[in-house]
Amino acid sequence: MDGSLIQLHDLPDEILMIILKKISNAEVLYSFIGVNKRLNEIVHDSIFTNCLTLIRDSSNSLSDRLNKRILDRFCLQILPSIHHKIKWLNVESPSMEPILLSTNYPNLYGLGIYHIEKETASRIFTEESPLIHIFQNQILSLVIDIVQRKDLSLAENGNVHIFTRILTVSSKLQCLNFGPSLFPYQRLLFRSLTPIVVSPTLLELRVSVQNFIDCLYLVDGRFDQL
């Protein structure tokens, strides 16, 4: 590692940036932040700090080994040092709350939540949630991918409840991607007893619905900016 650092140190900034851009942002920050002054300045560039993916099954090697030690370093050192530069975070349950609560993110506007169970999703989109201020005051774009339930009927009902809660508490939300994996269990099935939900701010909505009637529910005027 020391030899590799010496070789990197000999490279011009332009070449070093080209190399680092081929690595995931999370890997760059974990490997080089705090190593020396020059590397520290380079990896603090917005190219590496604007968007971070901290999930285990993404394509980068760091995410494959996102264990407690690595997560602790991000929460205690890395994220607080770049908190004002982060604009988008991709996280998963159960590391989502430690990451989002480790510091404040004044410029965060986008959030991707993956591998989250229905019960957890129902809990975080409530007034009692410690994350509520983020959804109410900051998030403009949200991606949420819920894990499969064995009882599909329960999953469908739960999905509508979560969908409703998201739009109720996220007062600034402009873009919502609900269930990007497009698995059947992520479809929305609206019923006559479903509470009416209105969002005057939503500009873009990506969902999978059960049938054409459910589609009509979404285009009946309650989302008048779509």
Query: What are the DSSP calls for the chain, one per residue?
Result: -HHHHHHHHHS-HHHHHHHHTTS-HHHHHHHHTTS-HHHHHHHTSHHHHSEEE--TTSSSHHHHT--HHHHHHIIIIIHHHHTTT--EEEEETTTHHHHHHSS--TT--EEEEEEE-HHHHHHHTSTT-TTHHHHHHT-SEEEEEEPP-SSHHHHHHHHHHHHHHHHHH-TT--EEEE-TT--GGG-B---TTSPP---SS--EEE--BSSHHHHHHHTSSSSTT-
Please answer whether residues 64 and 16 qualify as being in contact, where contact means their C-beta atoms are separated by less than 8 angstroms: no
Give the per-residue pLDDT at 108.
98
Give the per-residue pLDDT at 221.
75
- Structural domain tally of the chain? 1
Is 226 a domain residue? Answer: no
Lowest mean pLDDT among 40-54, 92-106, 148-162, 179-193: 148-162
CA distance 143 to 155: 18
Is 38 a domain residue? Answer: no
Is 185 a domain residue? Answer: yes
Q: What percent of the chain has pLDDT over 90?
A: 51
Is 197 a domain residue? Answer: yes
CA distance 189 to 157: 7
Query: What is the pLDDT confidence band of residue 3, given thresholds at 50, 70 and 90?
Result: very low
Residue 137 has pLDDT above 50, yes or no: yes
Give the per-residue pLDDT at 99.
97
Q: What percent of the chain has pLDDT over 70?
A: 84
Is 155 a domain residue? Answer: yes
Query: What is the pLDDT confidence band of residue 59, given thresholds at 50, 70 and 90?
Result: low
Give the per-residue pLDDT at 1.
47
Is 3 a domain residue? Answer: no
Q: In what order do the strands lie in the sheet with 141-146?
A: 51-53, 88-92, 110-116, 141-146, 175-178, 204-206
CB atoms within 10 A of CB 73: 15
CA distance 38 to 145: 38
Range of the domain at 110: 52-218
Is 162 a domain residue? Answer: yes
Is 72 a domain residue? Answer: yes
Residue 14 has pLDDT above 70, yes or no: yes
Query: What is the pLDDT confidence band of residue 42, given thresholds at 50, 70 and 90?
Result: very high
